[in-house]
A and B are shown apart, each in its own frame.
Chain A
Amino acid sequence: MTGKVITVTSGKGGVGKTTATANIGAALADFGHKVVCIDGDIGLRNLDVVLGLENRIVYDLVDVVEGRCRLRQAMIRDKRMPELYLIPAAQTRDKSAISPSDMVRLCEELRPEYDFIIIDSPAGIERGFRNAIAPADVVVVITNPEVSAVRDADRIIGLVEAEEKGPAQLVINRIKQDMVRRGEMLTVDDVLELLAVKLVGLVPDDENVVVSTNRGVPVVLDGRSKAGQAFRNIARRLNGEQVPFMNMQEEDGFFGRLARLIRPGGN
């Protein structure tokens, strides 16, 4: 068995990298795979709180790399899942504590025993980003349908290609269907035309993401959440399955349809 290393990155901060990492990891684990999530954002750790594992941290990524503990000791098992582990980032150090070759070595150690190793990259294009993509087999770029996020995604896609880790795969997160309909938000097709990259997921804007993060329970475990469903689909595609993309134009209920009748101009 050789595990696949998937790095989740974005360029711009705040587009949903950590949420995506947690949910893709949780979904793959829920499907029965052995999964390790690594928080690559040293100094600004967050994957622990999104996964709800913040109270169980003893050792972190830097402790492993600097030999203060064994790899196993830094891996926190998520008890809600059969095989989901987190390697948290250090909170009191900075990105220079780790090198790209440290990350490659760490992943080589994990690959024989786990199906997926998912790395949450920090925002930016500096050391932390280089660390996160160094061991990657697949790079997933998260963006939002907004000018700054799309521009930064384009930069990142170019850098991923330059590092010969491409072609990157794109997730468009926080799509506000109502705004798209009114012509006030870039459509999926607009973003794909601009970035000219392979699509791996479309995630609608969904309040349940905030609620589930408040609780520390990944939204993929909420069967009714649309975003949860979208992340499950992404996990399936990353596992090699063919899953049709969600239609981002429908599902607005009675009042949405009524509003559209009264207010033409959208499609």
Chain B
Amino acid sequence: MSDFITRLFGREPKSASQAKERLKMVLVHDRTDLSPGILEALKDDLIEVISRHVEVDPGAVRIEMTQDGREQRLVADIPLRSARRRRMG
């Protein structure tokens, strides 16, 4: 409800939700020691390796950290060019 009102009046998002979003990112990297830069390099390496076997769409590859309780998970979404199947790993 409060989100709706905020949008209605076109105000800036509340600072608490900004704090939460920023913390989410910070904690993921604190917990894993994986900086956004390293994650980007990992993505490039993954694209290179997978491309040797099957054609992928490099621009659409997504790799991100997700949180499951206090466990961190690396999730890669690698759309293939030829097939309709999505999601690997």
Contact = CB atoms under 8 A, between A and B. Distances in A.
Interface of A: 146-147, 150-151, 154-155, 157-158, 161, 180, 182-187, 190, 193-194, 196-197, 264-267
Given A147-B19, A154-B31, A157-B70, 10 more contacts: A150-B23, A161-B70, A180-B16, A183-B14, A183-B16, A184-B14, A187-B16, A196-B69, A266-B2, A267-B2
B82 interface: no
Contact of A184 (B5, B6, B15, B24): B15
A220 B2 CA distance: 36
Contact of B16 (A157, A161, A184): A184
B67 A196 contact: yes
A197 B23 CA distance: 15
A147 B27 contact: no
Report which residue of A146, A150, A265, A267 has the largest number of chain B beta carbons within 10 angstroms of its beta carbon.
Answer: A265
Interface of B: 1-2, 5-6, 14-17, 19-20, 22-24, 26-27, 30-31, 67, 69-70
Nearest to A157: B70
Contacts of B6: 265
A187 B16 CA distance: 8
Contacts of A151: 23, 26-27, 30
A155 B30 contact: yes
5 closest Cβ pairs, A-B complex:
A183-B14, A196-B69, A196-B70, A190-B20, A184-B15
Contacts of A190: 16, 19-20
Contacts of A264: 5
A154 B28 CA distance: 10
A55 B27 CA distance: 43
A194 B24 contact: yes
Contact of A186 (B5, B20, B31, B69): B20
B23 A182 contact: no
Contact of B14 (A147, A157, A161, A182): A182
Report which residue of B5, B14, B16 has the largest number of chain A beta carbons within 10 angstroms of its beta carbon.
Answer: B16
B19 A186 contact: yes
A71 to B, nearest CB: 37
6 contacts: A154-B27, A183-B14, A183-B17, A186-B20, A196-B69, A265-B2
A187 B27 CA distance: 17
B76 to A, nearest CB: 23
A159 to B, nearest CB: 11
A164 B54 CA distance: 44
Nearest to A183: B14
A196 to B, nearest CB: 5
A193 B5 CA distance: 24
B16 A186 contact: yes
A194 B21 CA distance: 10
B17 A147 contact: no
A32 B8 CA distance: 56
Contact of B22 (A147, A193, A197, A266): A147
B63 to A, nearest CB: 22
